[in-house]
Structure 1
Amino acid sequence: MGPEDVDPQEPLPRLSRDGGIPLHAQIRDLLRRQITDLPLPPGSSLPTEEELQRQFGVSRSVVRQALAGLADLGLIRRQRGRGSVVAAAPVLHRQLQRAGGLDEQAAAHGQRLRTHVIAVEPVTAPPTAAEALGTPRAWAIERVRYLEQVPVAFMRTWVPRDLFPHLTPELLEDASLLALMREHGYRPEGGPRQVQAVAADAGLAHKLNTAVGEPLLLLQGVTRDVLGQGLEWFNVWHGPDTVFDVDAQVTMPGTALAPDRIQRLRALAQQLESELASLGNNSR
Structure 2
Amino acid sequence: MKLYINHKSPVPLHVQAEELLRKIITDPQYANGKLLPNEVDLAKQLAISRTTLRQALNKLVYEGLLIRKKGIGTKVAGAQVSSKSNNWLSFSQEMNARGIPIRNFELHISWVNPDEQIANFFEISASKKILKLERLRGRAEGPFVYFVSYFHPRVGLTGDEDFKRPLYEILETDHSVIANLSKEEISAKAADKFIAGKLEVDLNTPILFRKRFVYDQGDRPIEFNLGYYKADSFVYTIESRRE
For residues 146 and 216 of structure 1, what CA distance do their matches in structure 2 show?
Answer: 15
How far residue 139 of structure 1 moved from its aligned partner, in angstroms, is 1.0
**Residue number in structure 2 paired with 1:157:** 149
**Residue number in structure 2 paired with 1:244:** 236
Q: Deviations over 1:110-158 (max 9, x none)?
A: 1122234442111111122222223343112111111233211101111
For residues 99 and 133 of structure 1, what CA distance do their matches in structure 2 show?
Answer: 21
How far residue 163 of structure 1 moved from its aligned partner, in angstroms, is 2.6
Count residues with an aligned counterpart: 166
Structure 1 residue identity aligned to 2:134 = E
Q: Which one of the candidate residues 92, 98, 108 is aligned to 2:87?
A: 98
How far residue 106 of structure 1 moved from its aligned partner, in angstroms, is 1.4
Q: Alignment partner of 2:203: what SS?
A: coil
Cα distance change on mapping 1:129 and 1:97 into 2, 3 Å:
same
Cα distance change on mapping 1:132 and 1:99 into 2, 3 Å:
farther
Greater Rg by CA? 1
Q: Deviations over 1:254-274 (max 9, x none)?
A: xxxxxxxxxxxxxxxxxxxxx
Aligned partners of 2:155 and 2:177 also within 8 Å: no
Q: Which one of the candidate residues 116, 120, 126 is aligned to 1:127?
A: 116
How far residue 92 of structure 1 moved from its aligned partner, in angstroms, is 1.4
Q: Which one of the candidate residues 147, 157, 163 is aligned to 2:139?
A: 147
TM-score (norm: length of structure 1): 0.53
Give me the identity figure in percent. 16
Structure 1 unaligned segments of length 5 or more: list them. Answer: 1-40, 44-87, 252-284
RMSD of aligned Cα (Å): 2.4
How far residue 212 of structure 1 moved from its aligned partner, in angstroms, is 1.0
Between 1 and 2, higher relative CO (CA 8 Å, sep ≥ 6) is seen in 2
Structure 2 unaligned segments of length 5 or more: list them. Answer: 1-30, 34-76
For residues 186 and 220 of structure 1, what CA distance do their matches in structure 2 show?
Answer: 20
> Is 2:178 aligned against 1:190?
no
**Residue number in structure 1 paired with 2:159:** 167
Q: Alignment partner of 2:187: what SS?
A: strand
